[in-house]
Amino acid sequence: MPKKILPNRILPLILLTNSANKFVLHRGKPILSCNLSMRTILVTGATGFIGRQLCLALAEQGNRVKALCRNTGHPLLIKHPNITPVQGDILYPASLKKAMQGVTEVYHTAALAKMWCRNPDDFYETNVTGTRNVLQAAADADVKRVVYTSTCGVWGPTLNFPLSEDEPRIVGFPIAYERTKYLAELEVQQFVNRGLDAVTVNPSRVFGEGPVTDSNTVSKMVGGYLKGKWRVIPGSGEQVANYAYLPDVVAGHIAAMDKGIKGNRYILGGEDISFNQFFDTVKNVSGIKHNLVRVPQKVIKFYSHIERVKTQLTGLPPFFLPEFADRLKFDQKYSSQKATTQLGYRITPFADAMQRTVNYLKQA
């Protein structure tokens, strides 16, 4: 009798082909639960500030996430049923080849984002050679798309108006991180020209709830302020920079994978805020009031030269370097208009984002 056959034999097939549903029915009852639209996604830099939240967001959406890390026992790796730690290193192509098996999408967030490194060649190795390795492995594995996490640092200082993607950089590349991220973008462009589908995202200064590490300068500053250890405002305090909230940046990554145009770049930023506004906001949302001293740029520059000599003589990490002191003469204002229009990127108001960050850092 046809009426009986339909639900038992054909309905499961219909459900299979409309694969958004999770249940396959047998005699009207679900017999197994699986997400048929489940994607397998590789995230490099899975223990990093952006990478770990990205893994979590993708896993929460029901994707199978392979989290590439050098040490699968890393304390910052997020534990989640959909996240599988995969041992590997972007400097070892063989490990990437293995990690790419069955993968359709790659987020390449791994990078050396510190201010200083004992071996200066590490910046080139990790950020340029590492990126080339990831792109090559992705091309070999016929991955559908790679989203590459770059930085607004490829533009660096800006003039009077917020900068957008097609506008030029106005200074050189004395900062190793910015230089190597720029060179890595050229690698991405070359792979795109050869046919690989890749989209680049350029977050500005990212902050939010997450571990305080060397590459996370905003959290270091805010955390220091809350503990009463950070007591300075650089220069006049009028210098403006752009601050992006971590969950916005993570959502921007996923939107770039879904909606980005091949070969394009997208600034993922937040509000343009001066140092004065920054610390006023931290004061307001934390309720903690410390007096801050304004230190002239020239004094910082002088001190940074001492730090450089100290580092050269002792090999100890510097607190600050001259090329960063020079940056205090410029604003770094960026427009996220393109991402807003094309990706539906959204910016959380700075005060709200800072409130949540401060709450997190107070508990940590």
Partner 1 sequence: MPQLTAIITGASEGLGKSFAIELAQRNFNLVLVALPGSSLPQLASYIRKNFNIRVDELEMDLTDADAYPGIFNYLHLTGITAHMLINNAGLGNWAWFEDKNILFYKKQIELNVITPVLLTRLFLEQCDKAETSYILNVGSLGGLFVVPKKQVYGATKSFIRYFTKCLQLELSGSKVRISLLSPGGINTKPELLVMNNKLKGIGKATIMEAEDVARIAIDGLLKGKKEIIPGLANRFLVLLNSMLPGVVKESIIRNRLKLILKS
Which residues would be at the binding site for partner 1 (CB under 8 A)?
120, 124, 159-161, 166-168, 170-174, 176, 179, 182-183, 186
Q: Which is nearer to partner 1, 160 or 193 (CB)?
A: 160
Q: Rounded to the nearest whole angstrom, what is the least distance from the CB of residue 236 to partner 1 in the complex?
A: 19
- 294 strand-pairing partners: 233
Contacts of 230 (CB under 8 A, 6+ apart): 221, 222, 223, 224
Burial of 173 (0-12, 13-18, 19+ CB in 10 A): middle
DSSP calls for 198-216: EEEEEE-EEESSS---TT-
Q: Which is nearer to partner 1, 131 or 348 (CB)?
A: 131
Q: Which is nearer to partner 1, 51 or 153 (CB)?
A: 153
Q: Rounded to the nearest whole angstrom, what is the least distance from the CB of residue 158 to partner 1 in the complex?
A: 9
Q: Rounded to the nearest whole angstrom, what is the least distance from the CB of residue 302 to partner 1 in the complex?
A: 17
Q: Rounded to the nearest whole angstrom, what is the least distance from the CB of residue 132 to partner 1 in the complex?
A: 13
C-alpha dihedral over 63, 101, 44, 156, to 10 degrees? Answer: -100
Q: Rounded to the nearest whole angstrom, what is the least distance from the CB of residue 39 to partner 1 in the complex?
A: 35
d(CA 225, CA 228) in angstroms, rounded, equals 5
Q: Rounded to the nearest whole angstrom, what is the least distance from the CB of residue 125 to partner 1 in the complex?
A: 12
> What HEC string does 257-301 produce?
HHHCCCCCEEEECCEEEEHHHHHHHHHHHHCCCCCCEEECHHHHH
The per-type count for the chain, helices as H runs and strands as E runs, is 14, 14
d(CA 285, CA 84) in angstroms, rounded, equals 37
Q: Rounded to the nearest whole angstrom, what is the least distance from the CB of residue 192 to partner 1 in the complex?
A: 16
Q: Which is nearer to partner 1, 166 or 195 (CB)?
A: 166
d(CA 195, CA 188) in angstroms, rounded, equals 11
Q: Which is nearer to partner 1, 99 or 176 (CB)?
A: 176
DSSP calls for 72-112: TT-TTSPP-TTEEEEE--TT-HHHHHHHTTT--EEEE----
Q: Which is nearer to partner 1, 14 or 170 (CB)?
A: 170
Q: Which is nearer to partner 1, 65 or 163 (CB)?
A: 163
